[in-house]
Structure 1
Amino acid sequence: MTSHSYDVIVAGVGAMGSAACWHLAKRGLKVLGLERFDLGHAMGSSHGLNRIIRLAYFEGSHYVPIVRRAHELWRTTGDEAGMKLLHVTGSIDLAPEGAGPVESSLQSCLDHGLVHERLDGREIARRFPAFQLPEGHVGLWQPDGGFVASEKAIYAHVGLAQARGAEIRTGEPMLDWAPTAQGGVVVRTERGTYSAGRLVITSGGWIADAVPALASKVSTVRQAIGWFTTRRPELFREGAFPVFILSVEEGAFYGFPLYEHPGFKLGGPHFGREPMDPRDDDRTPSPRQVALIRECLRRYIPDAAGDPLTLKGCVYTVSPDEDFIIDAVPGVPQAVFASCCSGHGFKFASAIGEILADLSTSGQSAFDLTPFSLDRLAA
């Protein structure tokens, strides 16, 4: 067994943890990142080539300042790493008029001065003929939206962190941890015991193992994504087709232009998420989930309704109100965590990494984190 000392230990090196490692390391701190799987693995919620970034945010206007910072950081981090992480395609929210999502996205644009357009069904069909929407659907177009290359983002953050001296250990999950009388922490793995002044916990579906206060507050579910054969790929190429959220009677689906895969990527539906234990190694989407996705394609995006080329599942860690939880472990201010991002967190990872670095070094953030406190979920 080995024993080493660090300034900060990061438990979980996925989207959030890799970003935290980078922001901590570039501040000159001695950082250890512990990851239970391989780097860029497909057992959590950060794989699948890309993830949407939306600035028009129907989940709440309070998210917009953080996602704007994330948008900026994805660009600058990509530049520093020599990778293109941020792809600006424009984003569109599509829903029946008056149903809520388009109106909430519009409000977030008005609150924060985001460039946007409200589109009726005729204009949606003219700009994006791949959609065949029901009568009464409208759209909220925001030209700054797009997607982030998900695995590349993790590789970029880790590579930059390592270049600043961070140590990243894969295949080495944190087994347990404890605060010390000196105000630090001790972390134990199968390979050794490590001490640090601060601990950052970003372990996704395994978060409740490290933060028992979350055990009754969060759940884990399997979400399905797939890539499907297109009949007219020219309609879906990057530059001609946006990222989108589509709300229809079957649920809320999300999709992308073609990117590094011959198939058209669609995920969802929102209500089709199925409970799962992250310790179960099977990530295969259920037949029910696949059938819902294929029915959405058949009805609303028929030129992408071909045979599936790739099907994957991912783990969402969901809070009761589906807002994030970013806080210190109760009674242990030297240990902070971010998880329970409820399936809409990846886009924020670059900024949340910075937030976690701020909380670990100063105990404060430039952003109002009150909406994401653990206390809001107190019974």
Structure 2
Amino acid sequence: MQTYDAIVVGVGSMGGAAANELAGRGLSVLGLETFWPGHDQGSAHGGSRIVRQAYFEGPAYVPLLQRAYEGWHRLEEESGRQLATWCGGIYIGDPGSHVFTGSRHSAELNGLDHEVLDAAQIRARFPSMSPPDHAMGVYEANAGFVHPEDTTRANAEVARRKGAEIRYGEPVTHWSDTAGGGVEVVTSQGTYGADRLVLTPGAWAPQLLVESGFPIVVERQVFYWFTPDFTTAVPYERYAAPEHPVYVEETDGNGEVYGFPMSDGPDGGLKLGFFRKGSPTTPQRVERTVHQHEVEDMRARATQLFPHLTGPLVRARTCLYSTTPDQDFIIGALPQSPQVVIACGFSGHGFKFVPVVGEILADLAVDGATRHDVSLFALDRPVLRAPEGGAA
């Protein structure tokens, strides 16, 4: 049986970053992945993911995001790939909304450069958008998007250069503790041993961590690319980076949407989606077909913010969220198996943290502790505990 210092199960976004970090610290590393590099079966695909720091989800996330930004730049240097596009970001809502007030609070509390814009200022600066008159926005220049498929490939490539062994097309069937305090991992092709195990299973977490009973709901989400009507006064360039920012918007309770500038040319479409409008599923039975009623629902909502987004649908794709009850992540060592570190439940907003999560996982696997504040992600927090008399 081949043995390693550490085995990483799931070499997607988080697992690839962990393998990169562990190999960089001189450990012998095996990464095991069911699918192919940059695959589209989970959560890390679709061409773009937002990165931002004025974080309405909570100011406690901001120091982690600041460290993640350092990691994005470092990964670009190490891989030779351009992963990020810095086009700015705007977060629009009612004056008392969570999107607006939370973004402003995080920016002010953490000393982030930002501007507060009213609806008229938003429309003047970004003519593709037409928020209602009472809307307010927080604009952050230090925001943009990263390419998820290239990110997962970059981490795996750099990890391999540092000595890691990465095996694709090799699903893990089960793992177990060993008498000596290590682990044994069984796959479709063999059995491996290691002192430490890092589990980053994404939407497969409920199956791979069934004994832990974490209340993770896997949700089917859809994102869309619609074509603007360029016969209006708003040309393609005003929809594309660097003139067009990433965005999050919800006003008058119309449902939070997020999206990106056009990045694939005039025929590529403007990408956007609902943030919280998923349906429970599993990776095995997820419906990959996007239906016409879903397209019509998205277009009706999209044109509330983008009145000229009336051209043809270019394409639509599904992805998977793995959502916890409080929408905070799950990161830590398993109490019953402290040599096993897990990261899952990223609840649809984890990708921007990829570099720092890789660092945290390596810290926990090697040292049993990390300098980063991960108290938000504790495995024993109340919302993750099973109720008395039953499983979570």
TM-score higher than 0.5: yes
Q: 2:246 aligns with which of 231, 243, 248?
A: 243
Structure 1 residue ranges, 4+ long, deviating more than 6 angstroms after superposition: none
Deviation track 1:307-345 (CA, whole Å, cap 9, x = no partner) reads 111110000000011111111123111001111000000
Q: Deviations over 1:108-145 (max 9, x none)?
A: 11111100111101110110011111221110011101
Q: Is 1:21 matched up with 2:19? A: yes
Aligned to 1:333: 338
Matched, 1:234 2:237: yes
Query: Are the equivalent residues in 2 in contact too, given 1:43–1:281 (CA < 8 A)?
Result: no
Instruction: Write the deviation string for residues 15-40 of structure 1: whole angstroms up to 9, x where unpaired.
Output: 10111111111111111111111111
Give yes or no for contact 1:91–1:146 (8 Å, CA) kept in 2.
yes
The TM-score, its normalising length taken from structure 2, stands at 0.93
Q: CA deviation at 1:210?
A: 2.0
What is the aligned counterpart of 1:31 among 26, 29, 48?
A: 29
What residue in structure 2 maps to residue 254 of structure 1?
Answer: 258
| RMSD value, Cα | 1.4
Alpha-carbon separation, structure 1, partners of 2:270 and 2:259: 6
Aligned equivalents of 1:41, 1:265: Cα separation in 2: 22
Q: Give the corresponding residue for 2:357.
A: 352
Report which stretch shifted further, 312-321 or 241-250. Answer: 241-250
Unaligned runs of 5+ in 1: none
Whether 2:267 is the aligned partner of 1:269: answer no
Structure 1 counterpart of 2:369, which letter?
Answer: Q
Determine if contact 1:56/1:109 at 8 Å carries over to the other structure.
yes
Aligned: 1:83 with 2:87: no
- 3-state DSSP class of the match of 1:271? coil
User: How many angstroms apart in 1 are the aligned matches of 2:380 and 2:147?
Assistant: 33
Match of 2:221 in 1: 223
1:88–1:147 Cα contact (<8 Å) kept:
yes
TM-score (ref. length: structure 1) = 0.96
Count of paired positions: 377
Does residue 125 of the first structure (1) align with residue 128 of the second (2)?
A: no
Provide the C-alpha distance between the structure 2 equivalents of 1:357 and 1:284, rounded to a whole number of angstroms. 38
Q: Distance in 1 between matches of 2:18 and 2:184?
A: 19
Residue 90 of structure 2 contacts residue 138 of structure 2 at CA under 8 Å; is this kept in 1?
A: yes
2: CA distance, partners of 1:39 / 1:72: 24
| d(CA) in 1 for partners of 2:23, 2:213 | 30
- Please give the secondary structure, in 2, of the residue aligned with 1:302: coil
2:78 aligned counterpart, secondary structure: helix
Identity of aligned residues (%): 41
Partners of 1:12 and 1:40 in 2: CA distance: 12
Partner of 2:233: none
Find the aligned partners of 1:316 and 1:5 in 2 and give their Cα distance: 33
SS of 1:280's equivalent in the other structure is coil
Q: Which runs of 5+ in 2 are unaligned?
A: 231-235, 388-392
